[in-house]
Structure 1
Amino acid sequence: MARSDNLTGALLMMASMAAFTLNDTMMKMLAGEIPLFQLLFLRGVITSVLVGLLAWRMKALTLRLPARDLKFIGVRTVAEIGAAYFFLTALFNMPLANVTAILQALPLTITLTAALVFKEPIGWRRLSAILVGFVGVLLIVRPGAEGFNSYSLYTMAAVAFVTLRDLSTRKLSKETPSMLVTLVTSLAIMIFFGLASLMRDWVPMDMRASTLTLGASLMIIGGYLFSVMVMRVGEISFIAPFRYTGLIWALVLGWLAFGEWPDPVTLAGAAIVVGSGMFMLYREAQLGLVERRAQIRESRRLR
């Protein structure tokens, strides 16, 4: 029996989340062993070469870009560098599942920022879901509590940078190839952290460290590739909720690789964040259906 587009999209989304989480796990396994800037530079070299080959095969290497897109690519690149630094710094100092749980607030922050900056409409239901979701984030972070980890603030900074990155991506025109944007980002990370790594002594890497770095590079490329492929099949309203499987991967890999398991309050906060995001996706799907029905009625009326 042929697989439906929705099922294919769901599988690609889960594969993307698995690849990104495996990348995070491998990078975290090198924490305290290899300096962060050295790791990001080496991963950037491998990633840039492989992404460059993919972009070439996909005929995405072009200099003919709309002028307005250059500005958004620049903003997106700066945001990606900031996200990489803050996210991995937090990851090296916090449990994998905690960092991943806070990142699940991204649909909430993107929707809220789009409403504030781009004046996109947002109803009271979605606004309520955003506020409830932020309560869940506070339960995970717990500022002022005895077990508070200051690196939680780094994760929240990473969320802010990723929000800026994704909103900049949304403003890109269709004429700009996704793989070209990915290549530019990878090259920028490689160059920035390569220069930053010169300010510190490099550490020799053994076979284990080299294998983990290569594995992380392959996983992040897989994550990028699957995330591009997933946008080309199925219905977004059906596929998008499967992004939360990343939290399941983080829980399992954090337990297997590091013996970490979040406490009940953190798990409750994560459940609230995921529940809020799922409700928002449901509302957006409903609103999209209403809009499509209105367009169909209008087209029939004009015939």
Structure 2
Amino acid sequence: MSTTRPATLTGIVCLSGGLALFGVQDLILKLLSGDYPLHQAMVLRGLTALPLLYLMVRMNCDGARLFAPGWTAAAARGVVSFVAYTSYYLALVALPLADTIALYFSAPLMIVALSVVMLGERVSLPRWIAVLVGFGGVVIMVRPGSSMFDGAALLAVGSGLAYALSMILARIQGGSRSAAVLAFHGNAVFLIGALLLAAVFGGGQFAGDGHPSLQFMTRAWVMPSPTDALLMASCGVIAALGLTLITQAYRIAPSAAVAPFEYTLMIWGVAYGWIFLGDWPDRTGWTGIAVITGAGLFVLLREGQERRSAQIPAE
């Protein structure tokens, strides 16, 4: 067990750093969403990230593993990740930044549950109760049946489910592939998906008035200003570094141990939303955030206690 703790701590640091970077990307996309289509930002992000990720693969001496047997499974994981990120971005334009992140935080709860089914990891009854309480917080945030309900909230929850599945697949595939290789495949699929969306919607033939998420998807391509083009390209740099860090976290550490640290993104979401967008969660929003975050922290603390207890030899 002596090698488990360093690996877990390294995974936590990688995850927290990657999420701090993605918080910046969320803010950039939120700021640009009123003038540009999602697929345009996604294509520029993917084109910028691809050579950076390939460089990381080469620096890691993993070039020969890019298309080693089983690479199609890594590509399939990339499809799941593409669904996760696209759903998240579409929700982001319609909901306050903090609300979108809070709903997306169903992902760590789902990771804990999926780690049992797909990885055979053990989760105690108290942690299961915390997961259920956390999902109660998600229901509070979604506000089903109320006048405040927005269909984009379901996109945020759906992105959480797809993201959880992609991270579990990273854990399964991590034994034979480095984080850089997994991130490269993920970004390659992301770019292909973005190009397909651009081919369908880039001409603007489906654009029109309607829900903000739908407008963000169907808007025609626009020639960006130099500043905006640079911001879109910077998302590629963020993606290259963030994807590698997050994938590395789940590749080397137990999913149930690192998943609760997904909640560090909430700090950035609230701060960025307040400072740059003037968004501040209402009372219901804060209640949901508190329940979801509290459940995640309990899972973290309980998991740590159980891990330490398992290391104590029975007398």
Q: TM-score, normalised by structure 2?
A: 0.82
CA distance in 1, matches of 2:183, 2:11: 20
Structure 2 partner of 1:186: 187
Structure ranking higher on relative contact order (CA contacts 8 Å, 6+ apart): 1
The size of the alignment, in residue pairs, is: 291
* Alpha-carbon spacing, 1:11–1:31, altered in 2? closer, same or farther (3 Å): same
Structure 2 partner of 1:113: 114
Structure 2 partner of 1:36: 38
CA RMSD, 1 decimal: 2.8
1:249 aligns with 2:250: no
Structure 1 partner of 2:215: none
- The residue identity in structure 1 corresponding to 2:307 is G
Q: TM-score, normalised by structure 1?
A: 0.86
Structure 1 partner of 2:138: 137
Contact 1:237 1:285 in 2 (8 A): no
CA distance in 2, matches of 1:113, 1:232: 15
Structure 2 partner of 1:301: none
Contact 1:44 1:186 in 2 (8 A): yes
Percent sequence identity is 26
Structure 2 partner of 1:288: 307
CA distance in 1, matches of 2:164, 2:82: 13
- The residue identity in structure 1 corresponding to 2:20 is A
- The residue identity in structure 2 corresponding to 1:286 is Q
* Alpha-carbon spacing, 1:118–1:181, altered in 2? closer, same or farther (3 Å): closer
Once the two structures are TM-superposed, the CA of residue 74 in structure 1 deviates from its matched residue by: 3.3
Structure 1 partner of 2:297: 278
Instruction: Write out per-residue CA displacement over residues 245-298 of structure 1, whole angstroms, 9 at most, x where no aligned residue.
Output: 21111011111221111101111111111111111122222222222224xx69
Give matches, 1:249-268, under 5 Å.
249-268=268-287
Instruction: Write out per-residue CA displacement over residues 68-96 of structure 1, whole angstroms, 9 at most, x where no aligned residue.
Output: x4454133111011112111100111111
CA distance in 2, matches of 1:197, 1:75: 21
* Alpha-carbon spacing, 1:76–1:21, altered in 2? closer, same or farther (3 Å): same
Structure 1 partner of 2:18: 16
* Alpha-carbon spacing, 1:109–1:188, altered in 2? closer, same or farther (3 Å): same
* Alpha-carbon spacing, 1:26–1:169, altered in 2? closer, same or farther (3 Å): same
Moved more, 9-18 or 79-88: 9-18
Moved more, 164-173 or 282-291: 282-291
CA distance in 2, matches of 1:10, 1:170: 14
CA distance in 2, matches of 1:71, 1:185: 11
Once the two structures are TM-superposed, the CA of residue 231 in structure 1 deviates from its matched residue by: 7.0
State the SS of the aligned residue for 1:198.
helix
Contact 1:75 1:168 in 2 (8 A): no
Contact 2:183 2:240 in 1 (8 A): no
CA distance in 1, matches of 2:142, 2:174: 37
- List runs of 5+ in structure 1 lacking aligned partners: 299-303
